[in-house]
């Protein structure tokens, strides 16, 4: 019986010692770099670094786009100033004294500066007969060109020149059906356009 008690006591002590070792082991920190959890941590860190790199690249791209947008806006404003200066000079043509009767006639009709090319040409405007729009398929006038420049609809030299010269070509086509006064003013306006476009091209940096 004494031996049995001794054996049981030793078993209990052995069990207690085993449980203490297990508890101690569970509390022990995992060695750095050891075990599966360390590998998972490395994967997560790598993933975070990749996300940070992608975010940095996206931010850099956004910054570049914004800088390009600002530069583009500056260029458009600079173009607008040059084109407005040119179209205003074209509208305010200096007529020769010999043209005074024709100019006064157009002024009384409501044309700015007596300039028949500086009035909106739309059906029903009252300035020109409806027949005009049957013969002229692409009507254009200097005031409409100015409005297009102000609204940035026209912002490059090539489009601007094409519109201005279309005013003259339309006038030549229509002049076949009207009196000499319009033809005389058209010739003066054409010379004024040539002069101002030459100055604009020089300011634009375009060689003749």
Instruction: Render each residue's pLDDT in the chain as its tens digit; 208 residues.
Output: 544 444 444 445 555 555 555 555 554 444 444 455 566 666 666 666 666 666 666 676 777 788 888 889 999 999 999 999 999 999 988 888 888 888 888 888 777 667 888 888 888 776 778 888 888 889 999 999 999 999 999 999 999 999 999 999 998 888 766 667 788 888 889 999 999 999 999 999 887 6
Evaluate whether 88 touches 142 at the Cβ level (below 8 Å).
no
pLDDT for res 182: 80
Instruction: Give me the half-sphere count of Cα atoms (radius 13 Å) on the Cβ side of residue 56.
Output: 6
* pLDDT score for 149: 96
Residue 87: exposure state from Cβ atoms within 10 A (0-12, 13-18, ≥19) = buried
Q: What is the 3-state secondary structure (H, E, C) of the chain?
A: CHHHHHHHHHHHHHHHHHHHHHHHHHHCCCCCCCHHHHHHHHHHHHHHHHHHHHHHHHHHHHHHHHHHHHHHHHHHHHHHHHHHHHHHHHHCCCCCHHHHHHHHHHHHCCCHHHCCCCCCCCCCCCCCCHHHHHHCCCCCCHHHHHHHHHCCCCCCHHHHHHHHHHHHHHHHHHHHHCCHHHHHHHHHHHHHHHHHHHHHHHHHCCCC
Joined tokens for residue 122? 């739309």
pLDDT at residue 11, as a whole number: 47
At 117 the pLDDT is: 87
Q: Pick from 126, 138, 124: which is nearest to 171 by CA?
A: 138
């Amino acid at each position: 019986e004494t031996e049995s008690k001794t054996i049981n006591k030793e078993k209990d002590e052995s069990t207690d010692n085993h449980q203490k070792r297990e508890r101690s082991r569970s509390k022990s920190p995992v060695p750095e770099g050891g075990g599966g959890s360390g590998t998972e941590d490395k994967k997560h860190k790598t993933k975070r670094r990749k996300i940070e790199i992608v975010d940095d690249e996206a931010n850099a791209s956004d910054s570049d786009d914004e800088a390009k947008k600002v530069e583009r806006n500056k260029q458009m404003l600079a173009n607008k100033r040059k084109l407005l200066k040119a179209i205003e000079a074209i509208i305010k043509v200096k007529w020769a004294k010999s043209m005074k009767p024709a100019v006064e006639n157009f002024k009384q009709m409501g044309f700015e500066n007596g300039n028949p090319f500086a009035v909106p040409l739309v059906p029903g405007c009252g300035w020109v007969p409806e027949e005009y729009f049957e013969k002229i398929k692409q009507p254009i006038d200097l005031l409409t060109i100015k409005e297009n420049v102000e609204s940035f609809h026209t912002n490059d030299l090539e489009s601007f020149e094409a519109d201005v010269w279309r005013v003259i070509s339309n006038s030549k086509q229509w002049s076949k059906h009207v009196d000499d006064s319009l033809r005389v003013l058209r010739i003066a306006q054409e010379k004024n356009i040539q002069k101002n476009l030459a100055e604009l091209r020089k300011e634009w940096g375009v060689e003749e």
